[in-house]
Structure 1
Amino acid sequence: MSSLSPRIATLARTVRPVLAIVLCIALVMLVVLGLRIQSALVGLRSEATDNLHWNLSQLEVDIVRLSEEIRVAQNDPAAPLKELRKRHDLFYSRAQNAIQGKGFSTPGLEDLSTALSAMLAEYLAVETPAVDGSDAALRADLPRMAAHLDALRDTLRKTSIQIIERLAKISDDRRAALSLLVSQVALATFVTIGMLACLLTMVLMSSRAALREARHTAQVSRQLRATVDSALDAIVVTDDKGDILQFNGSAESTFGYTRAEVLGRRAAGLILPPEIAAEPGDLAPLRQVDAGRFQTRALDRAGRSFPVELSISSAEGDEGRIYTAFLHDISDRLAAEAEMTRARDEALAAERAKTDFLAVMSHEMRTPLNGVIASLEIAARKAANPEQAHFIALAQDSAQLLLRHADDVLDITRLESGGMKLLPQDFDLETHLANLVEGLGPVCTERGIGLRFDMLTPSARLNGDPFRLGQIVQNFLSNAIKFVETGGITVEAEVTPLEGAMREVEIRVIDTGPGIAAQDQERIFQDFAMLDPSFRRSGGGAGLGLAIARRIATAMGGEIGVESAPGEGSCFWLRLPLAMAKDSGTAAGQPSAAPSLPLLDILVVEDNATNRAVLDEMLRQSGQRVEMAVDGEKGAQAAQARRFDVILMDISMPVMDGLASTGLIRARGASQRARIVAVTAHSLPADLDRFRAAGMDDVLVKPISSEALARVLKGDSVTAALARPAVLDMTRIQDMQETLGAATFARLAQQGLVDMHRLARLAQQAASAAAPSDGLEPLCHEAAGGAAMIGAERLRAHYSQAEAEIRQGQAEAARDRILRDTESFLAEAETALRNLL
């Protein structure tokens, strides 16, 4: 039965309009037919046919009487004519009435009535003058009048008979038409009664369906009420005026009111605090229908204002629109978020402070080193004999090592962010290690420590980053020198074949120091980890060296470790896979030929006299035309007055810094289009972006080498390698492999690559939209996190930069970045990961 009810209701809804239309048509037909019947009856009531019969009969009687009077007058010449004239006048009057009466205008009698009227009119026109004349003339005319009257009588009788026949037919036709109208009215009445019966049936069916629906609605309402009462969220239902209609149990717990206390009361001012309303009684929070979840504040019985998450829906009720509010107290969640935000802000502030300190420290240390290293390069070119060249080379190596010490504090930041770029080149392992050991020889001699280098296998020319390798070995040696008091230090190296052209290099630094306990051997590779003996030494340290060494070794695909026991000394080792050199290259110790450079007009803007002298010497030795300026203001004036090809611009200067000077040069003057290169010790990515935004084309990071200077003069970029992060964060990958296991990490990395392809596709679609920032920022945030999880550092930096640009209002730049670089960065990350796995 329940399954038939919807069908019946559907059928009723379908048929009801048709029945209503048919009923309306039937009612219209009844009205029309009724009007027609009424019209027919009115016609019958006003019918003039009876008068026509009587007039014709009277005419014939009058003709007979007039004929009798004429015969009397003919038979008795002395008879008076008064009665004859009287009879003629009566006939005349009757004939005029007949001619002008309605009977002669009856439809269907026009031809007969016209002929009869013409005959009567003719008779009267002919005989009336004689009747109205003298008696003698009248007596003379009596024979003719009698004949004329007899003819008229015969014609009148025949015409009357024809008129009566036609009137009979007309009456029959009218009765038939009236009978048809009555039949049509009966049919329309029957149809109307049938439609009314059908409609009544449907009304009864609809009424029964409505009763069933009402019972179902009541059941659903009971279920809904039970659901609302048992819901965990507070649910408040109000009408359009804001009066509370429903208040569930969770709402009672949240606000402290019972349901009976709030029903019928205004929500504003009771559970909504006055401060969120534009005016008293304003229900703005309850008007935000279909706005999703949003946050506002609510008021409990004790007057406490607390944050809630609110969602509103609305519906039309019997008495107008009603609003259903779902509220959830989020005080605890917001407190936790606030605590997390505070902790994050403190961490970010500490990170920013550390970054600022590192940038200042780097700048202060690199600026004087720039003069030292550049001066040594010039001195090496002018060395008069091999002994001088030898000591200058040792000084250069020591200066480079000193620079590496200054870079240690920056290396941690670069390594953690994947910003360190390896610079592979061909080098001779034995020569490189021998130079490192020889550079530290004087220090060991001064401390009374023996230092020896042994190449245990034949040396080989390898391809790798000799500076980073030397940084690790230098760190091992520095630690050994600090802790060894008596005895000596031995550096051993050996090269063993691996697959194909690959070789494994193992370097060991063995000392006779106090040794390291087993429980401390892993801890010493952590950041800022220092063992107790180091605190008692004057040399000290920040505890970063071994942490940096491990990260560098991991980035190069190798590993480091220690073997030690208390009282037995230590052996720090490095194992590193390196490829064989592709060609013999320049012989060790043989200076390379100076590059061929174009002849340029160069302006050097530098406040430090030593740096000016060094740059002047380096540029003039390559044949350049050089002009100097001691601060940014004088540099801008010189550049505006004369056209230069290249401007080397220091950043930190008195009077006017390099950024302001660059802005003036780009604004006007002869050197607007010159190539402006920043000369600075600032090398963090944020600094590089700031320099480019000011209008600079490139950056030379102090200390400046001849090679980097030559590349700038030839127009090559020297910042791409500096600012470009590594494809993979090997430290991150190694940590995950150690924590999760290689197999688990491989599986997660495969799934991560699938997610990266999906997010790349979504990000590119969002970047192609009209308002990319609306959906692009969360996608970039998610993609950056996913890339970091699988160690795809360059891809992570790509998404992070796009996210930062969107937050800074540079949505167009972020869109271009996503559309331009995402595919290539994802492809190289996938290739590198698959090769690694």
Structure 2
Amino acid sequence: MAVDCDQRRGTVTEDSSPPEGKAPRWLLGVVLLPLVLLGLGLLSVNAYQISLRLDDARVSQSDNTSWLFAQLEVEELKARVALNRAIRFPDDPASVPNLRQAFDIYLSRLKVIDGYLRQSEALAPMRQDDKWRKIVRDSADLTRQIDVPDPLLRASLTRIEPMADRLAQSMRPFVVEALSQIVTANTQRRSELGALMIRSAVLAMVLIVILLGVSAIMMLLSQQLYNQRRAEWRTRSTLEKTLAASLDGVIVARPDGNVLRANPAAESLFGLPRHQIVGTDLKSLLPMARSIRDDGGEDAELPDPVGQMLRGELPPGRIALETRRPDGTPVMLELSVAQDRESDGAPVLFAFLRDISDLVRAERDLRGAHDAAVDAAEAKSRFLAVMSHEMRTPLNGVIAALDLLHQTTSLTPVQGRYLGIAESGAQSALDQINNVLELTRLDAEALRSEEMTFDLNSVIEDLAEQMGPLALRSGNRIELDLPPEALAQVLGPRRIFVQTLRNLLGNATKFTRDGTIRIVLRVQVTDTARLLRVEVHDTGIGIAADKLGRIFDLFETLDGGYDRRVEGTGLGLGIARRSVELMQGEIGVTSREGTGSTFWFTARMKAPRRTVITPAAAAGPDATDLPALHVLLVEDHPTNRAVARAMLEHLGQRVTEADSGEAALQAVREDEFDLVLTDVSMPGMDGLSMVKQMRAKGVTSRIVAVTAHALPEDLRRIRSAGLTDILVKPITIARLTEILRAGPGRDDTGTGSRSFDPRIAMELRSLLTPEACRAALAQLDAEAEQLFSALETPPASRTPLAEAAHRFSGACALLGAQRICTHLTEAEAAIRADARLGVHLARLTTEWSRLRPQLVSALLAETDQKTDNPS
């Protein structure tokens, strides 16, 4: 059994792979055994071939081939001698029989050689030789002449003699050639036999080397086997010692639950000696075990974790169990399981157990504390939302009434001063509410303001002008040290920047008397970024050195005369620190008590996409170009309703009031409205429910939510309800003016769409002649007049009207007029849907009256502007 044990983690993993770098024994056997068998086979084949060669040699020696061929010529000579004797002694009665006998012996020799030539591979080609064929043919002719009766033979002896001479002439060359072939064949046989002997010797040597290698490998394997057995013994010993020293309880059991071994930690965990644990059933050690989730609840998917573990079905990883010790004490355990096999191959289970009772209790306590903290945070958010609404509602009436009084009444200097005091007090209370809401927004979602292009110098000058009266009341003057105008254009979170600087500047005015407050701005320019450093120097009372470390903490009001000399919540600097972090910067302070302080912060902005163009109407609201709309005002608070109605009528609007959601639904059934201003929190039917029912009934009017709920989650909920815009209280004439001018999708919490980008028109002017520019503007005027006239009295077929709106939108887009393009796209959709067009006509005429002078300025030269008559 080879296992790896991790004492700290309490897990066991199987290790059944062979040691790295060592070939398995079966692989060596598979490779070497075929080699040995192949060598033995080759050696046997060589031995068989040697045996054949030896047999051939033995056959050649016994037949005495050379003597046979030589004897053939001897026998032919004897037959010729007998023939000559018979011719010379014709009267000798023995001469003819001797001739026949000699010739027969010759023929027998000839037949033996013919048979040998047929059998011998080396001499077989000689049978096809011309000399051998001539010998056979001449011998056959002699045979026919000799095989006759003696009288005839005696009479033909003189005729046979020339034939015997021709045979003798062929015999000698044939015998010489045959002997030569025999010698050559014998030499070849000896060479082949020698090669076979050499090959057999080489094969024998190779086999000997292989056998020696096999023997060496077997010795090496034997040594490795010995070392492996020692390593297994050491591993087993180490495992036993590790399990004995493990802080987790380890139990080794068979799949049937029978416990085989247990370590000392398991004895301590169950409170039983080892001999009582070994041999018992695992289920008896873990009675009524059930799994628990991380949140402390019972896990319905594992009703019997111990049974699943024994069946091998337990999920991998650690399982939390709730069970009881043998003495009945409840305990919570963490269980992890590993599988392995004993040395005899029997499967075993390793169960690692850890007591997590204290840990589970601590987690439950921590979870409860977390839930309580979340509930407290939600309660705080709800409290802030409710208080914000309840406080903003009366403030809305106060500020709106003061604003209306300021806009509609000629005041004496004394009345103006009192009105300013009232406005300052209301604004101060609103600032405190805004600080709390700003902190909540930063805590809720780390607010990321929408980026916009703005002028740093202009923002700081405006802020200094706004804070000027507050500074003068304390005898202070505000000085500015700003960079060149070219460096002041940035793209970034304008609202957060202004809020941060306002907090620092307000903090300086609180604690400075008859002194100087100096704002310094430095800008470092890179290709894509603007790195800002803003410093606010004052000559106030300063801050003690031991209190500088906590000046930016929330709700921190320092003792020693800094914060306690004036009223404050301690939120401003904390909000400033969090706002600076959102701008990817840092904030700090240097100060000496009694000599003043310098608050500074850095921020990272982006390079502007375009140059900031300050609108001509930036100094204040201008109601001269507002469309005359029919407005439905839905508000349950009588004061707020009266003030809002007065503001709207002052701006030239026709107003219908509704004091509830039900009354508003009845009003839209009876009349058509261009704009609906509705409160969100109303008794009975709230504003969001009312809007859903209006949209369901097909009301397409712009609906703007007027609400005091300014938390991010409230704004998201309001936007998702189908409202066009959002106006956060308090309501002012300036904000109402923007709402009346704005198109769908704009609210006072964002930046809105850009009305006109003059760079595009200027680029077009640089490409065209002045006559072409005037012609383009005249064509645009004609299309606008034609479209607006058609919108007042729509034709029976609206398709040409929709196409005209589309063409006019394309022309405006070419000149960079983005907002009117949006209005034209919406108008085109309304035309194709056969919807009412009065609201769209009002928006388009208002936007065109504002856009036309800008187009003239961008397209025509200065001299041309004087002669041009805007529509």
TM bucket normalised to smaller = 0.5 to 0.7
Q: Which residue of 1 aligns with 2:46?
A: 36
Residues 1:334 and 2:360 aligned together: yes
Q: How does 1:743-822 map to 2 (within 5 A)?
A: none
SS across alignment from 1:549: coil
Identify which of 163, 179, 204 aligns with 2:178: 163
Q: Which residue of 2 aligns with 1:608?
A: 636
Q: Which residue of 2 aligns with 1:344?
A: 370
Q: Which residue of 2 aligns with 1:583?
A: none
Residues 1:359 and 2:385 aligned together: yes
Identify which of 568, 578, 585 aligns with 1:549: 568
Rounded Cα–Cα distance in structure 1 between residues aligned with 2:40 and 2:695: 96
SS across alignment from 2:233: helix
SS across alignment from 2:705: strand
SS across alignment from 2:211: helix
Rounded Cα–Cα distance in structure 2 between residues aligned with 1:354 and 1:10: 64
C-alpha displacement of 1:333 = 0.6
Q: 631-640 or 54-63, which moves further after superposition?
A: 631-640
C-alpha displacement of 1:331 = 1.8
Rounded Cα–Cα distance in structure 2 between residues aligned with 1:11 and 1:689: 65
Identify which of 304, 313, 320 aligns with 1:275: 304
TM-score by length of structure 2 reads: 0.54
Rounded Cα–Cα distance in structure 2 between residues aligned with 1:25 and 1:157: 56
Percent identity reads: 27
Rounded Cα–Cα distance in structure 2 between residues aligned with 1:506 and 1:713: 47
Cα distance change, pair 645–21 in 1 and its aligned pair in 2 (3 A): same
CA contact (8 A) 1:415 1:551 kept: no
CA contact (8 A) 1:383 1:389 kept: no
CA contact (8 A) 1:234 1:251 kept: yes
Rounded Cα–Cα distance in structure 2 between residues aligned with 1:115 and 1:692: 123
Cα distance change, pair 625–316 in 1 and its aligned pair in 2 (3 A): farther
Rounded Cα–Cα distance in structure 1 between residues aligned with 2:227 and 2:351: 30
Cα deviation, 1:656-697, whole Å, max 9, x if unaligned, reads 64445656788996848x5x5421121222212322344556
Residues 1:620 and 2:635 aligned together: no
Cα distance change, pair 494–61 in 1 and its aligned pair in 2 (3 A): closer
Root-mean-square deviation (CA), in Å? 6.1
Residues 1:226 and 2:241 aligned together: yes
Q: Which residue of 2 aligns with 1:495?
A: 514
TM-score by length of structure 1 reads: 0.55
Residues 1:685 and 2:712 aligned together: yes
Cα distance change, pair 179–471 in 1 and its aligned pair in 2 (3 A): closer
Q: Which residue of 1 aligns with 2:610?
A: none
Cα distance change, pair 110–418 in 1 and its aligned pair in 2 (3 A): closer
Rounded Cα–Cα distance in structure 1 between residues aligned with 2:97 and 2:255: 104
SS across alignment from 2:311: coil
Cα distance change, pair 458–279 in 1 and its aligned pair in 2 (3 A): closer
Cα distance change, pair 598–229 in 1 and its aligned pair in 2 (3 A): farther
Q: Which amino acid aligns with 2:189?
A: R
Residues 1:706 and 2:733 aligned together: yes
Q: How does 1:555-594 map to 2 (within 5 A)?
A: 555=574, 594=621
Q: Which amino acid aligns with 1:32?
A: L
Q: Which runs of 5+ in 1 are unaligned?
A: 1-8, 435-454, 473-490, 508-524, 528-544, 559-573, 580-591, 722-837
Identify which of 210, 228, 235 aligns with 2:250: 235
Q: How does 1:387-786 map to 2 (within 5 A)?
A: 425-426=463-464, 458=475, 494-497=513-516, 502-503=537-538, 549-552=568-571, 555=574, 594-595=621-622, 598-600=625-627, 601=629, 603-604=631-632, 606-608=634-636, 610=638, 611-624=640-653, 648-653=677-682, 657-659=686-688, 671=700, 677-696=704-723, 698-713=725-740, 718-719=748-749
Rounded Cα–Cα distance in structure 1 between residues aligned with 2:724 and 2:717: 11
C-alpha displacement of 1:39 = 1.6
Q: Which amino acid aligns with 1:353?
A: A
C-alpha displacement of 1:268 = 7.7
Cα deviation, 1:36-84, whole Å, max 9, x if unaligned, reads 3422422442565444557647756765776687578763587898997
Cα deviation, 1:120-144, whole Å, max 9, x if unaligned, reads 4202442344456666554443344
CA contact (8 A) 2:252 2:350 kept: yes
C-alpha displacement of 1:118 = 0.8
Rounded Cα–Cα distance in structure 2 between residues aligned with 1:142 and 1:181: 56
Q: How does 1:31-110 map to 2 (within 5 A)?
A: 31-46=41-56, 49=60, 50-51=62-63, 52=65, 56=69, 63=76, 75-76=90-91, 95-102=110-117, 105-107=120-122, 110=125
C-alpha displacement of 1:228 = 2.5
Cα distance change, pair 10–192 in 1 and its aligned pair in 2 (3 A): farther
CA contact (8 A) 1:641 1:670 kept: no
C-alpha displacement of 1:165 = 4.9
SS across alignment from 1:683: coil
Q: Which amino acid aligns with 2:193?
A: L
Rounded Cα–Cα distance in structure 1 between residues aligned with 2:256 and 2:174: 90
Q: Which amino acid aligns with 2:728?
A: V
Q: Which amino acid aligns with 1:681?
A: A
Rounded Cα–Cα distance in structure 1 between residues aligned with 2:625 and 2:253: 82
SS across alignment from 2:570: helix
Q: 102-111 or 390-399, which moves further after superposition?
A: 390-399
SS across alignment from 2:310: coil
C-alpha displacement of 1:337 = 0.9
Cα deviation, 1:484-528, whole Å, max 9, x if unaligned, reads xxxxxxx99943457888445689xxxxxxxxxxxxxxxxx999x
Q: How does 1:210-225 map to 2 (within 5 A)?
A: 210-212=225-227, 214-215=229-230, 217-219=232-234, 221-225=236-240
SS across alignment from 2:514: strand
C-alpha displacement of 1:330 = 1.5
CA contact (8 A) 1:429 1:459 kept: no
Rounded Cα–Cα distance in structure 2 between residues aligned with 1:637 and 1:335: 59
Rounded Cα–Cα distance in structure 2 between residues aligned with 1:696 and 1:34: 102
Cα deviation, 1:520-566, whole Å, max 9, x if unaligned, reads xxxxx999xxxxxxxxxxxxxxxxx99993424655999xxxxxxxx
C-alpha displacement of 1:86 = 8.2
Q: Which residue of 1 aligns with 2:137?
A: 122
Cα distance change, pair 691–429 in 1 and its aligned pair in 2 (3 A): closer
Rounded Cα–Cα distance in structure 2 between residues aligned with 1:720 and 1:195: 90
CA contact (8 A) 1:458 1:495 kept: yes
Rounded Cα–Cα distance in structure 1 between residues aligned with 2:712 and 2:210: 87
SS across alignment from 1:284: coil
Q: Between Structure 1 and Structure 2, how many residues are aligned?
A: 606
Cα deviation, 1:237-270, whole Å, max 9, x if unaligned, reads 5789988665322133224565556668886886
SS across alignment from 1:704: coil
C-alpha displacement of 1:230 = 1.0
Residues 1:250 and 2:265 aligned together: yes
Rounded Cα–Cα distance in structure 1 between residues aligned with 2:657 and 2:98: 162
Q: Which residue of 2 aligns with 1:449?
A: none
C-alpha displacement of 1:226 = 1.9
Q: Which residue of 1 aligns with 2:396?
A: 370
Cα distance change, pair 417–33 in 1 and its aligned pair in 2 (3 A): closer
SS across alignment from 1:283: coil
C-alpha displacement of 1:714 = 5.7
SS across alignment from 2:178: helix
CA contact (8 A) 2:332 2:355 kept: yes
